[in-house]
Each structure stands twice: as C-alpha cells, then as structure tokens.
Amino acid sequence: MLQNIAAGFAALFTWENILFLVMGTLVGLIIGALPGLTGNMAIALMVPITYTMSATTGLVFLTSIYCSSIFGGSISAILLGIPGTISSFATTLDGYPMAKQGKAGMALGISTISSVFGGLFSAIVLMFLTTVLAEFALKFGPAEYFAVAVLGLSCIASIGGKSITKGLLSGFIGLFFAVIGQDPQRGTKRFVFDIHLLGGVTLVAALIGIFGVISVLKNAEKKSKETGPIPEVDKVWIGWKMCRKLLPTWLRGSIIGTIIGIIPGAGTNVATFLAYDTENKFNRSEPKFGEGNPKGVAAPEAANNGVTGGSMVPLLALGVPGNATSALFLGALLLKGLTTGPVLFTEHADVAYSLFLAFFFANVVMAPLGLFILRYMKKILSIPESLLGGIILAFCMTGVFSISSSSFDVLTCIFFGVLGYAFYKFDIPTAPLIVCLVLGSMAESNLQQALVANNQSYSFLWTHPIALVVLLIALVSFFVPIISKLVKSTRKARHPNTVTAGDLAEDTSDEMDDD
C-alpha cells in the first residue's frame, strides 16, 4: 500500500502534471461559476484533449476540473442566488441570504473550506476503502433506490417554509412536472406535446429559470421603487474559530456525500438535499436555516464535494460509473487502454494511486486558488443590481442554450422563470418544487421496478432491511417538522401573549406571510 502511494506520488509530481492540476482547477472554477455550464460539459469537451497526454496527466487534468467545478457552482449560488447546477441548489438557500446581509465574503469562504474538507474526506475514503465500499453499491436494488428517493423527497417538509399547505402545494406541482415525459416502465407518453419533452423537463433549464429569471425580476421590481445601499462584503477567510464550529457539520456533510455518491445514479442531488436537511434538523443556532445560517452553506458544499470521490468508487472497483461525470472518466481510462476493477490496482497501481492523489491535491490546490480568486469575484456585488440584471439574464440564457443547443430549453427556462415569479408573488416556496422535480422520476421508476421484481406486491417495503430503515428515517424526517409546526401554531393560538425568544423572529414573519 505505502509502496503504491509512493509510486503514485512519483507519477504525479512532474511539472507537467502540476501545471495541468492548476489549470484544470481554474477552468473548473470558472465553468462551474457560470450558470448552466457544468463541470460535466467541461470534462466532455476536455476528454479529446487528453488523448495526447499520458494517462496520469489526463486523469489529473480531468480530476481537477471535476473537483473545482462542483465548488465553482457555489459562487453564482451565493453571489447571485442562481445555482449553476443542481448540486449547488441547496447552497443558494442560505448562501444568498448571507450575501444579502453583507456576509458574501464569509459565505464564499465557508463554501471554499467546506468544499475542500468534503473533497479531502472523500479522497481519503477513495484511497483506502474503495474495494470494501464497492460491495455496498451492489446492495442497492430498486427497493433501496426508491427508499433513498423518498428520503430525499421528505426534505420538503422542512425546507417548505412556514406554511405546510404552501410547501406541499409547491412539492406537488414539482411532482407534476416530474411526470412529464415517457413513462419509464411502459413507454407511454405523458404530456409530451413537443418532442423535446420526451425525456422530461430539462432540470438545469428549470432550475436556472426559477432562480435566475426570478432574481432579476425581483430586483427590477424593487429598483423601480427604491435604490438600496450596495451590500458590504467582508473578508473571505473565516478564521479558525468558525472552522471549529463548522467541523461537525463538515463531517456529517462529507459522510453523507461520500456514501450517497457511491450509489450509482443517486448521486450528487440527493446528497446535497440530505446534507442540508440533516443540518437543518440538528441546528440550534441562529439565524434559522433559509435566513443565512453558515451551516446551511457548509453542509451541502461539503456533501457535493464528498460526492466527487464517492462517485469514483463504483467506477474504479466495478467499472460502473456512479454519475455522468465519472462515465466520462471511464471513457478517458478506456482510451488509454486501462481497464477498471481490481486489475487497475494490481497492474496499473501507479495510475490508480496517482488518481487518488490527484483527487487529494486537486482539493488542496483549490483552497488557495479559490480564496484568491474569490477576493475579486465578490466585487460582482458592487455592480448596481439594476445593471447586473441584464447581464445575469444574458448569461443564464446562453448557459441554458449551451446544454444541448436547443431553443426549447430557453423556453423552458423562461416558463419556469415566470412560474417562479408567480410563486414569489403568492409567497409559495420554490425549494420543494425543485426537490420533487429532481427526485420524482427516480422514485417513480424504482417503485415500478421494485413492484415488477416482487410480483406487484408491496412486501419489499418491509422485507429489504436497508430500504426499511431508510424509509423509516424518511417518515420521521417528513413528519417531525410538520408536527412541530402544528404544535407551535396551536400553542400560539392558546397563549397568544407568551412568546419564546426563539419564536419571535418566526412570529413576525408569520404574520407577514399569512396576511
């Protein structure tokens, strides 16, 4: 093992590799930060460039793009309130409010350090536990996938805002949009009035519509009334005290990210939702989640970079890519004549271990580079919002168009922008819609598959131990926030005059919301 690591070091540390490591990190950061452009896209375009490189250099380059693009997504999520990819969607929920409160620097700093922590954690797991964990991935049948999807969906109870009804309404609308497209098991076309909808609604287009278009509309509306002061941005470095405070959050986020990342197909999206939701439930500190809590940025960012290493586990051990990005890595490996699986560790140990180390050092390089670039990037906020709006819209539309050079995606984006604006006007939260849109079809497809495997009997719900446990956690996760909201509101109704300090903030906003 030590010998292999030493061989990996030797293979990794050449001038060429270090150059590509830094370059890849920069490319990833910038691509990730632009809404609509994803690391996946960047890697797909870079794979042909790696044909001419040595196997190690090629993998180092792709790895650094992968890691930093996931982190880069948090930049636009925090500064502009637009998640460039679904994996940075949860970061928006607290990152953007923090930026609005003049803590943009702090939010970006937290996102940097959290991403690095999650990435390093998963790199270490990848290095030492790949073969053990790969067996875990095989345990996931349709029943287990269904349970994980339901667990993800259960988040809507706590991120659904103050009104249970409005949260559920948003969730159901999301599930409706998730139904559009071909029935995954029977092939029946559902609401496919245009051929572009055959594969369902383009998630990224919808996401950018809801967050991008709406943030521009909101600003336009506000600007026509008043011009607020430009929010202050503070330091990017968050200090050791904050690091210590966030350590438990990082650990939980990284573990969730790495484990979920291992399950092929479930990937990044579920991991960030779950990490955010878990922290939300553990959280006792102020301000509340959704109002700019640092932990709300730390958890999903640690998780989505945790996924990077996790998603490579099934690829390296089983030859099965965990998500779309690791599928591109598979292509790059194959083109070099390398086979995946245990053979890679025995016959090409230097390549395998330099890949592990590349994951490690890509994250190490990310911290100084990220903190350095962000010092300048946060200046975006000093552009007056009225001017920024147009630029944001142009970037959003270009990004959406670039997904598959389709003008239909642009229309989808505009449609969801208008829908999001309507939600905003009626004070309906948009987060449940996104969660349901992303996870709805995964839940549906796997439920149907599980039923086929079990002769149309629902007994799999309790005969598969993993599925059973996950489903029970999902039940608790769904009903606890709802019950506690109900209890609070009845208590309030009974004792209208006795208000605890913690409830105070909520009470005032409740009145605004409900009236």
The DSSP element (H or E) to which 182 belongs, if any, is: strand 181-182
**CA torsion angle 23 24 28 30 (round to 10):** 10
DSSP 8-state secondary structure symbol assigned to residue 85: S
Residue 48 or 368: which CB sits closer to another protein? Answer: 48
* Angle formed by the axes of helices 465-494 and 501-514, nearest 10°: 80
Stretch that binds another protein, among 76-84, 161-169, 176-184, 388-396 (CB under 8 A): 176-184
Identified binder of another protein from the candidate list 12, 43, 78, 208, rule CB under 8 A:
43
Compute the least distance from the CB of residue 449 to another protein, in Å.
4
Q: Answer yes or no whether residue 185 interacts with another protein by CB under 8 A.
A: yes
Q: Which two tokens stand for residue 460?
A: 């799999």
Name which of residues 132 to 151 contact another protein (CB under 8 A): 137-142
Interface with another protein, residue 41, by CB under 8 A:
yes
Nearest partner of 59 among 107, 12, 102, judged by Cα: 12
Q: CB nearer to another protein: give 57 or 340.
A: 340
Please state the closest distance from residue 223 (CB atom) to another protein, in A: 37
The site string for another protein over 310-339 (x = CB under 8 A, - otherwise) reads ----x---xxxxx-x--xx--x--xxxx-x
Listed ranges 1-9, 18-26, 185-193, 432-440: which one lies at the site for another protein (CB under 8 A): 185-193
Residue 176 beta carbon to another protein: minimum distance, rounded to whole angstroms:
20
Q: Confirm or reject binding of residue 405 to another protein (CB under 8 A).
A: yes
Q: What is the 3-state secondary structure (H, E, C) of 405-440?
A: CCHHHHHHHHHHHHHHHHHHHCCCCCHHHHHHHHHH
Binding mask 343-362 for another protein (x = CB under 8 A): x-------------------
How many angstroms from the chain centroid is the CA of residue 239? 25
Query: Which tokens sit at 439?
Result: 């996870």
Nearest to 368 by CA among 504, 468, 253, 237: 237
Residue from 13, 48, 462, 469 binding another protein (CB under 8 A): 48
User: Which residue, 231 or 331, has its beta carbon nearer to another protein?
Assistant: 331
Alpha helices in 263-341 (DSSP H): 267-282, 294-318, 324-335
The CB-of-132 to another protein minimum distance in angstroms stands at 15
Determine which helix (DSSP H) or strand (DSSP E) holds 181, and give its type and residue range.
strand 181-182
Q: How far is the CB of 467 from another protein (least distance, A)?
A: 11
Kindly state whether residue 54 participates in binding another protein, applying the rule CB under 8 A.
no
Half-sphere exposure of 319 (CA within 13 A, CB side): 8
| # of chain residues touching another protein (CB under 8 A) | 55
Candidates 357, 432, 466, 413; CA nearest to 126 is 357
Task: Confirm or reject binding of residue 442 to another protein (CB under 8 A).
Answer: yes
Report the residue from 6, 13, 51, 128 that binds another protein according to the rule CB under 8 A. Answer: 51
CB 85 within 8 A of CB 31: no
- By C-beta, is 176 or 345 nearer to another protein? 345
Would you state the structure tokens that stand for residue 113, as one six-digit string?
Answer: 């350090």
CB of 147 to another protein, least distance (A): 13
- Judged by beta carbon, residue 327 or residue 367, the one nearer another protein is 327
* 199, HSE (Cβ side, Cα atoms, 13 Å): 6
Question: If you ran DSSP here, which 8-state letter would residue 184 be given?
Answer: T
Q: How far is the CB of 327 from another protein (least distance, A)?
A: 6
Least gap, CB of 265 to another protein (angstroms): 5
Residue whose CB is less far from another protein, 193 or 240: 193
In order of 54, 321, 348, 351, the CA distances from 333 in angstroms are: 11, 12, 11, 10
- Using CB under 8 A as the binding rule, whether residue 406 contacts another protein is answered as yes
CA angle 286-287-289, nearest 5°?
110
Give min distance, CB of 268 to another protein, in A: 14
> Shortest Cβ distance from residue 381 to another protein (Å)?
33
Peptide bond into 287 cis (omega under 30): yes
Q: How far is the CB of 372 from another protein (least distance, A)?
A: 31
Minimum distance of another protein from residue 61's CB (angstroms): 15
Q: 143: Cβ–Cβ under 8 A, 6 or more apart, which residues?
A: 446, 450, 453, 454, 460, 461, 464, 467
**Chosen residue from 3, 165, 186, 244 binding another protein by CB under 8 A:** 186
Q: Which of residues 444-463 bind another protein (CB under 8 A)?
A: 445, 449, 452-453
Q: Please pick, from the candidates 198, 383, 422, 487, the single residue that binds another protein as defined by CB under 8 A.
A: 198
The Cα–Cα gap between 199 and 182 comes to 6
Instruction: Please identify, among the stretches 170-178, 197-205, 268-276, 498-506, the one whose residues bind another protein according to the rule CB under 8 A.
Output: 197-205
Q: Which stretch binds another protein (CB under 8 A): 45-53, 221-229, 359-367, 429-437?
A: 45-53
Beta bridge partners of 190: 181
Task: Estimate to the nearest angstrom the gap between the alpha carbon of 245 and the chain centroid.
Answer: 22
Q: Are 162 and 150 in contact (CB under 8 A)?
A: no
Binding footprint of another protein on the chain (CB under 8 A): 40-41, 43-45, 47-48, 51, 137-142, 182-187, 195-199, 202, 264-265, 314, 318-322, 324, 327-328, 331, 334-337, 339-343, 404-406, 442, 445, 449, 452-453
